[in-house]
Amino acid sequence: MNVQISKNSLVAASKVSGTYVYNLVGEHLGQVEDVMIHKVDGQVAYAIMGFGGLLGIGEKFHPVPWSLLKYDTEQGGYLVPLDKDTLMKAPSFGRSELTEDDTLWRDEIHSYYNVPPYWS
């Protein structure tokens, strides 16, 4: 399920999940499984990318700083300036690790992607 191309500047979170992610040379890298939202200010901090996995068992999720994603209306998906290898080797976590306490992994993520922290 891809995000519909429309005049709308907004998208429902439920539609972001499932949207394909491509790199800048058009390779399909995976898809957005979920987004992590800052509870207080309502800013999306991470796209959680997934890469399939058998029935989701043992699947590892890759949080990618939202600032790296650009929505591309032509492809109907998000573009990230990353090659496939960089993304596959990125820090990844199980679902419970991800959702329990982001302070345990966010430093590692922002350091890996060399992106300023969302919380500063």
Give me the residues that bind a second copy (CB under 8 A), please: 3-4, 6-17, 34-40, 42-46, 48, 66-67, 69, 71, 98-103, 119
39 contact partners, CB below 8 Å, separation of at least 6: none
3-state secondary structure of 105: coil
Least distance (Å) from a second copy to the CB of residue 101?
5
Distance linking the first and last C-alpha atoms of the chain = 34
Residue 24: left if φ>0, alpha if ψ -120 to 50, beta else—which one? alpha
> 15 vs 84, which CB is nearer to a second copy?
15
> 41 vs 85, which CB is nearer to a second copy?
41
Least distance (Å) from a second copy to the CB of residue 34?
5
- Enter the tokens of residue 92: 């990844």
> 39 vs 57, which CB is nearer to a second copy?
39
